[in-house]
Chain A
Amino acid sequence: MSLNKLLSKIAATTVLAVGMAGSAMAADYPEKPISLVIPLGAGGSHDLNARVMTSVIPQYLNQAMIVQLSPGASGQKGTNEVATAEPDGYTLLFAHNYTDQLQQHVENLPYDTLEDFVTVARTNFAPIAIVVPADSPYASAEDLFAAAKENPGKIKMAHSGNWGALFVPAAQLMQANGFELNLVPYKGGGPAMQALLSGDVDVTMGFPSTLAGQISAGKVKVLATAGSERIYDDVPSFSELGVGGDVGFMHRVVLAPKGIPEDRLQTLRDAFGQLNGDKTYQRMMSRLGENIDYMSGEDYEEMRKEQKVAYKSLVESITGQ
């Protein structure tokens, strides 16, 4: 008992001391470069996005932001690194909603994302599109869904890895509409698209930024896009097909370890807000084919909680079968 008391006393003093040191230093934050850990591989869309972000944001932070790639275990390695990092605002994570909120329902993780991280900003998001070859027998999403209902597991869909950005929307659609596809994994969206073009699979999904070339070349047709608004004039949205809510969006988010001093978090949130209004940033992002649909950290925090619940039921319905 006395030992416990002593320990708690020590802890209290330490917290106090650290807290004071923190507030004394806050005015100077950031006084050294900030690392932005990406738990995904080099050359992916997160990498490209981050290169643009980090080349512009120093203007608003007065410090460099350095991209640090830490791929492995489908994003868990890098995420764990940041979860266990000092919450001093010098280590941030650049992840997406599936590594952030879905993975915990599939595997045992050494961290709890909702408890261990707080959102700095959602930099942008990408809506998924259902894609078939131009000469596909399925003229509409309804056709495809009906055919998949009739022949469960016979229609092959290429995706970019289990519980990844193409797999989850497919699972969500299957759950909502009660059909079954044969989900064939590929090593990323590129190989999945190649499989579609070579006829190895019947359907795949992709983000508009990666589809533009194939669409204009007339090689593929889009059957539906995520969200409630149409992206292509003649292609229905998921809402029109009766699939509402946060289905088929990949949100790119900057997270900080929880426990980061409030004023530092505010500095970072402000910097990302300013970044979003930056002309150079906007121009470079539009060249990459990415939108700059920014959402503040506070707003996205609410979404994360909803995602956690929705993904839990999704995973249960898929793996429970």
Chain B
Amino acid sequence: MIEQFFTGFEMAMRLDTFILASAGLFAGMLIGALPGFTTLMAMAILLPVSFLLDPLVGIPFLLGIYKGGIFGGSIPAILVSMPGTGAAIATTYDGYQLTKKGQSRKALDMALFSSLIGDTSSDIFTLLMIFPIALLVMQFGPPELAAILLLSLVVVASTAGRNPIKGLLMMCIGLWFSMIGTDPIGGVERFTFGMFELKSGIPLLPMLIGVFAIPEIVSVVRANSSKIQGATKVLGERLKFHEFKRCLRTIGRSTVIGTGIGVVPGLGQVVAAMMGYTAAKNASATPENFGKGELEGVAAAEAANNAVNGPTMVPLLTLGIPGDNVTAILLGAFVAQGLRPGPELFETQGSIVFAILIIMVLANFLFLIIGYFAIPFFARIVSIKSSLLIPLVVLFAVAGSYVFRSDVFDILMLAFFGLFGVIARYGKFDVMPMVMGFILGEPLEYAFGQTMAMSEGNLISFALTERPGMLAIILLTPIIGFMLWRSVNKKQAQPEGSPPDESSIR
């Protein structure tokens, strides 16, 4: 195996590999930065290009798009409070506040560095531990997934903010939103009011753009109209080393959380970013700064969502099973090259697998360079006059909602959720628990349905006899929830220097 590793290393050292990987990274970053265009779409469209290339050039090209796209999603999240993907939701919390303070460049730098550290560490971990991870992945089935999703909901609820009742209420609304449409297992229509458009459920992107970006647009417009200077138009400084050093602990913690979540099939980047953020807030001595432009908040979310990447490749590489759509496209690229990922590939052509894993790590260094030089250009976007910027953002909000499914109905959804976001802000309700409830609701329901089918209706005896992992997580859930709730309460009970600020409720 060591031998294969070194052969793989030699194979990875190719100029064309690096050039195409860079091209993929750059393309991915641009596409990811455009709301509505997903990394997945970009990969699917460019997949045939990889057919024509050598495996060690074509696959790194696709991997580049993937990695670039995830970082790209954080750019509009930071600059205009418009998460391009679910993975960037937690980044909007502090990233946009930093932009408001005129520190957008710093925030983008932080996002880049923490993404890369999270990604690189998880890739290296995957490279070294690929077989143990493969065994671990097999321990998680629908019952464990359901338990972990339930735990995630409890974590979100218990750290929702100053007013847990408001947080819980929003989460329940989110869970209800997730139930609208065709029931994922039985295929029964629910709450669609006979509207065909609602049958496929509420689309995520219009909801995200609606609740996060629209209220910001409204508030900037209102501020400008009353002659108060709105968002600052300063590019700001680059990230300083001491600021970066301060966040290293957070980045480390988020990397571990993200990698762990990556091992569980079906959780993904959204949950990782949220958990990384929550953990950072909980561990911080000054949790009240979170949500008001805390660099650590950006670092926590971005390191965690990128750390998911390494382990999600494991089922594909070791078993040949794609766990999600991104890995399904990668499988297509492998197979088209005559390589069939799986145990056999490791035995016969292990060096190629290692070469690809090594390229994944090295691509991160390329990305550091590309990202570092691209950030000033992106950061400049917010220095546009707001009379131009606002219409532009509105255009992107509408186009981003529309383009994903090319459906006019989604623009109506954007308007609805925009209104929802504005009202929620007016009533000082945090929209985050709603969004998390919506995102976690569907997989939770699905995994629960699967578990019920597997247990033939005898859930309790099933958990007791066959699923110790699920049982353990369920028993731990109230304890973890209570501990988090108490620590949040304790910190809030302490007298704080700053008076309660409205802007903490976002």
Contact = CB atoms under 8 A, between A and B. Distances in A.
B283 interface: no
Given A52-B48, A185-B449, A200-B142, A190 B328 contact: yes
Contacts of B450: 184-186
A129 to B, nearest CB: 16
B320 A214 contact: yes
Nearest to A70: B405
Given A72-B200, A287-B337, A287-B338, A184 B453 contact: yes
A287 B453 contact: no
Interface string B324-347: 111111001001111011111100
B320 A51 contact: no
Chief secondary structure at chain A's binding surface: mixed
A27 interface: no
A39 B377 CA distance: 37
Given A43-B325, A43-B329, A213-B341, A284 B336 contact: yes
A176 interface: no
Interface in A19-69: 41-44, 47-48, 51-52, 55, 67-69
Chief secondary structure at chain B's binding surface: helix
Interface residues of A, number: 55
Contacts, number: 151
Interface residues of B, number: 57
B335 A162 contact: no
B199 A72 contact: yes
B181 A73 contact: yes
A198 B141 contact: yes
A191 B265 contact: yes
A109 B122 CA distance: 46
Interface string B291-334: 00000000000000000000000010001111111111100100
B453 A185 contact: yes
Interface string A212-246: 11101101000000000000000000000000000
Given A51-B44, A55-B48, A162 B185 contact: yes
Contacts of B201: 72
Given A190-B323, A197-B138, A200-B454, A288 B199 contact: no
A213 B255 CA distance: 32
A126 B208 CA distance: 38
A307 interface: no
A153 B182 contact: no
A195 to B, nearest CB: 6
Contacts of A200: 141-142, 454
Interface string A171-191: 000000000001111111011
B129 to A, nearest CB: 18
A194 interface: yes
A216 B405 contact: no
Given A43-B328, A187-B446, A198-B141, A74 B182 contact: yes
B426 interface: no
B319 A197 contact: yes
A117 B490 CA distance: 64
Contacts of A105: none
A76 interface: yes
17 contacts: A51-B48, A67-B45, A69-B44, A73-B182, A74-B187, A106-B187, A162-B185, A182-B453, A185-B446, A186-B450, A190-B328, A191-B323, A197-B138, A198-B139, A213-B340, A213-B343, A284-B336
Interface of B: 38, 40-41, 43-45, 47-48, 51, 137-139, 141-142, 181-182, 185-187, 196, 199-201, 265-266, 315, 319-329, 332, 335-338, 340-345, 405-407, 446, 449-450, 453-454, 456
